[in-house]
Copies of this chain bind each other. A is one copy, B any other.
């Protein structure tokens, strides 16, 4: 009997996202979990999509993306990111940031290669590396340094098999932003060991407190070893449009395109037209959204630290996530939460397909117990830090991409629920 499913896919460990999706489906509308702007797309961008439809721009584009969009991305990169890619040879437009990341890893990763992932980190890095036979190596960031890993810890993780280093700033899930000196240290390491760098900058526009986003590719001699990934989903509230891009040296984009041609053909063309408007049009709406995220962020930090027992947050400098420390909660109340889940909350535990998640799986991490407890009893989706790799246990990811009032109420529910916990 042949095996039905490719080994790397069949054996892929569940990444936590499956568990989050299950809870979200069971309890629709949970607060604080969503990694998506609540804003609708700015009207001038929607209008550009409508114009494209009206003008019959419903045919294929070149595989690499519309030339005008690639030029707009090149200009944006020069202005915002401080480096200057060739739009013809170094930029490929993808159907979202995910395919950019996926294709980039497939392009360069050899089975057996190690990939250094500073954690806590977005789920997909680990999963994609494993799908292509690579080995993820976690380097836990220092919570006192907004979860940016120390240069020593990064250096210790390098082996003769290391091929790639992933940098994600501003960070999902921690909200940390890497300073220029952190990026320079990562680049030095990459140069010393001949590593490639994937720089995921999807949250670049969402920074606060006068923090500045830096692109690692803007540092001296960095472009030759850096694959920069970006897109419009978060900055311009365009998640459903599916527009991202990859910027890399032409030897990498040429090979990336071999994959892209067969896996994608081209990114959706109406969305590409909208993306031109997003990049070339007025940016006030981006600034207005960032101001509103900032208002929510400040309220949220204050309210959690004042009102929610056994939970502390540091003010995040970027993204729309904060990474709440719940070590006190776990230390003091994990058994109470487990017992509540096994009694009043057993509907939730029993709803999981036992083939995928046994009760033992579900209760082995204190963060996960806290997540399930808050989902069940406070109607809040505080995503378990354990899903984000080494250094995540003891934390919960909270999003502020929902309306101010919803966030306020959700924090009140968390405060009440945890207050009542005996």
- How many subunits of this chain does the assembly comprise? 2
Most buried by B among A1, A58, A252, A259: A58
Across the interface, name the chain B residue whose C-beta is closest to A55: B40
Question: Given A58-B41, A59-B36, does the pair A99, B258 have CB atoms closer than 8 Å?
Answer: no
Residue contact A58 to B241, C-beta cutoff 8 Å? yes
Residue contact B240 to A270, C-beta cutoff 8 Å? yes
Residue contact B98 to A263, C-beta cutoff 8 Å? yes
Give Cα distance in the complex from A54 to B107, angstroms: 38
Across the interface, name the chain B residue whose C-beta is closest to A239: B60
Question: Given A239-B59, A240-B270, does the pair A127, B5 have CB atoms closer than 8 Å?
Answer: no
Q: Which residues of B contact A107 (CB under 8 A)?
A: 5-6, 9
Give Cα distance in the complex from A2 to B112, angstroms: 13
Q: Which of A45-53, A148-156, A165-173, A303-311 participates in binding chain B?
A: A45-53
Q: Which residues of B contact A110 (CB under 8 A)?
A: 3, 6-7
Q: Does A124 contact B (CB under 8 A)?
A: yes
**Please, what's the 1-or-0 string for A1-23, where 1 marks a CB less than 8 Å from any CB in chain B?**
11111110110100001000100
Residue contact B255 to A5, C-beta cutoff 8 Å? yes
**Please, what's the 1-or-0 string for A234-278, where 1 marks a CB less than 8 Å from any CB in chain B?**
000111111000000001100100110111111111110000000
Question: Given A58-B241, A240-B57, A241-B268, does the pair A251, B5 have CB atoms closer than 8 Å?
Answer: yes
Residue contact B5 to A239, C-beta cutoff 8 Å? no
**Please, what's the 1-or-0 string for A25-56, where 1 marks a CB less than 8 Å from any CB in chain B?**
00000000000100011000010011001101
Q: Does A163 contact B (CB under 8 A)?
A: yes
Residue contact B251 to A270, C-beta cutoff 8 Å? no
Residue contact A108 to B251, C-beta cutoff 8 Å? no
Contact of A127 among B238, B252, B258 (CB under 8 A): B258
Give Cα distance in the complex from A107 to B4, angstroms: 9
Contact of A240 among B5, B239, B268 (CB under 8 A): B268
Q: Does A106 contact B (CB under 8 A)?
A: yes
Across the interface, name the chain B residue whose C-beta is closest to A40: B56
Interface size class of A (residues with CB under 8 A): 35 or more
Residue contact B99 to A264, C-beta cutoff 8 Å? yes
Q: Which residues of B contact A196 (CB under 8 A)?
A: 4
Give Cα distance in the complex from A218 to B205, angstroms: 51
Give Cα distance in the complex from A95 to B266, angstroms: 9
Contact of A40 among B9, B58, B95, B259 (CB under 8 A): B58
Q: Which residues of B contact A6 (CB under 8 A)?
A: 106-110, 132, 255
Q: Which residues of B contact A340 (CB under 8 A)?
A: none
Contact of A270 among B21, B63, B124, B270 (CB under 8 A): B270
Across the interface, name the chain B residue whose C-beta is closest to A132: B6
Q: Does A96 contact B (CB under 8 A)?
A: yes
Q: Does A74 contact B (CB under 8 A)?
A: no
Q: Which residues of B contact A21 (CB under 8 A)?
A: 63
Give Cα distance in the complex from A222 to B180, angstroms: 58
Q: How far is the CB of A103 from chain B (nearest CB, A)?
A: 8
Q: Does A377 contact B (CB under 8 A)?
A: no
Contact of A46 among B9, B53, B258 (CB under 8 A): B53
Residue contact A98 to B264, C-beta cutoff 8 Å? yes
Residue contact B259 to A131, C-beta cutoff 8 Å? yes
Q: Does A208 contact B (CB under 8 A)?
A: no
Most buried by B among A50, A263, A271: A263
Q: Does A128 contact B (CB under 8 A)?
A: yes
Instruction: List 8 A–B pairs whose Cβ atoms lie within 8 Å, in order of A's numbering.
Output: A5-B108, A5-B251, A17-B261, A21-B63, A36-B59, A40-B58, A102-B263, A268-B268
What 5 A-B pairs are tightest by C-beta distance, nearest first? A240-B269, A40-B56, A268-B268, A102-B263, A41-B58
